[in-house]
């Protein structure tokens, strides 16, 4: 992998005066201040990405390593500017983002920052959403899909609401063959319907929902979505004569 691993990140943070105190807590030995991961992120991310002590490739490697270790969206946001910001320095290397995200999404440890980063910064951006979604759902056509690919695709479907239906529709149709993905497909349709930038094909979404085998609360949500996606009959217009008669 091209990013720094946890011992390397811990070593860099220690050199900056921040030592690990517990799995998600840090300490400044100089004054005994205890920091959570978010506080550490805001304290070091700009320094990490602008450090004169490291070549550009190592700054990126450190940035991805910090995101993996701290799991804080602020790190992802600053890192994203390197690939798609106002003045991106590594626009042609955006594939590094997809490779890193594949790794995180396949890991048994669940990340909160990376899915949110994909959802709001990449899937909502029409310039990148197709490439990101296609890359991150590779393997969905495999009839014998197993872990860790199954875990990755499950997590991607849950945040796929903003992706254009023309892009995600085929993936959803293949994913429905895997019973383990039915709950995440429900989330995919819900996001397509309810997200601010959601993208849905009403007819295909209804067909997909009808194929899902779900239990308990998921089954209730399925029926709610089917109702919301029912075709609306156009209201019949009254003639002037009918309106005059109704008003009498």
pTM of the model: 0.90
CA distances to 167, 218, 226 from 127, rounded to whole Å, are: 13, 33, 31
- pLDDT value at residue 85: 85
Query: Residue 6: how many CB atoms within 10 A of its CB?
Result: 11
Q: Is the CB of residue 165 less than 8 Å from the CB of residue 192?
A: yes
Give the pLDDT band of residue 231 (cuts 50, 70, 90). confident
* pLDDT of 247: 52
Q: Who contacts 174 (Cβ-Cβ below 8 Å, separation ≥6)?
A: 140, 141
d(CA 66, CA 225): 39
One-character DSSP codes across 92-157: GGTHHHHHHHHHHHHSSSPPSHHHHHIIIIIIT-TTTHHHHHHHHTTTTT-TT--TTHHHHHHHHH
90-116: per-residue pLDDT in tens?
Answer: 999 999 999 999 999 999 999 999 999
- pLDDT score of 238: 52
Res 111: pLDDT: 98
Distances (CA, A) of 229 to 91, 144, 159, 209: 39, 32, 20, 10
Q: How do residues 22-81 score in pLDDT, each as one tens digit? A: 999 999 999 999 999 999 999 999 999 999 999 999 999 999 999 999 999 999 999 999
Q: How confident is the model at residue 248 (pLDDT cuts 50, 70, 90)?
A: low
Summarised one tens digit per residue, pLDDT across range 116-175 is: 999 999 999 999 999 999 999 999 999 999 999 999 999 999 999 999 999 999 999 999
Q: What is the DSSP letter of 58?
A: H
All residues at 6 or more sequence positions from 20 whose CB lies less than 8 Å from its CB, including other chains: 10, 13, 26, 27
Find the DSSP H helices in the chain: 6-15, 37-50, 56-70, 73-84, 95-106, 113-117, 129-136, 149-157, 165-175, 182-194, 202-211, 216-228, 240-247
Taking the C-alpha atoms of residue 197 and residue 122, their distance in angstroms, rounded to an integer, is: 12
Domain ranges of the chain: 1-90, 94-230
């Amino acid at each position: 992998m091209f990013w720094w691993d946890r011992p390397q990140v811990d070593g860099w943070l220690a050199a900056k005066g921040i030592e690990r105190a517990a799995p998600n807590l840090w300490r400044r030995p100089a004054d005994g201040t205890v920091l959570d991961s978010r506080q550490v992120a805001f304290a070091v991310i700009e320094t990490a990405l602008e450090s004169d002590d490291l070549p550009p490739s190592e700054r990126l490697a450190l940035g991805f390593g910090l995101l993996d270790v701290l799991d804080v969206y602020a790190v992802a946001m600053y890192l994203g500017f390197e690939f798609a910001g106002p003045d991106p320095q590594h626009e042609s290397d955006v594939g590094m983002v997809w490779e890193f995200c594949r790794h995180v999404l396949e890991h048994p440890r669940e990340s909160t920052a990376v899915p949110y980063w994909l959802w709001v910064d990449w899937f909502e951006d029409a310039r990148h959403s197709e490439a990101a979604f296609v890359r991150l759902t590779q393997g969905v056509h495999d009839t014998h899909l197993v872990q860790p690919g199954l875990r990755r695709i499950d997590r991607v479907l849950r945040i796929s609401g903003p992706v254009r239906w023309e892009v995600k529709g085929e993936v959803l149709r293949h994913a429905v063959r895997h019973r383990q993905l039915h709950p995440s497909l429900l989330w995919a349709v819900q996001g397509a319907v309810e997200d601010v930038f959601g993208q849905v094909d009403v007819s295909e979404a209804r067909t997909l929902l009808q194929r899902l085998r779900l239990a308990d609360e998921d089954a209730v949500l399925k029926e709610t979505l089917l109702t919301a996606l029912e075709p609306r009959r156009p209201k019949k217009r009254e003639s002037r004569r009918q309106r005059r008669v109704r008003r009498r």
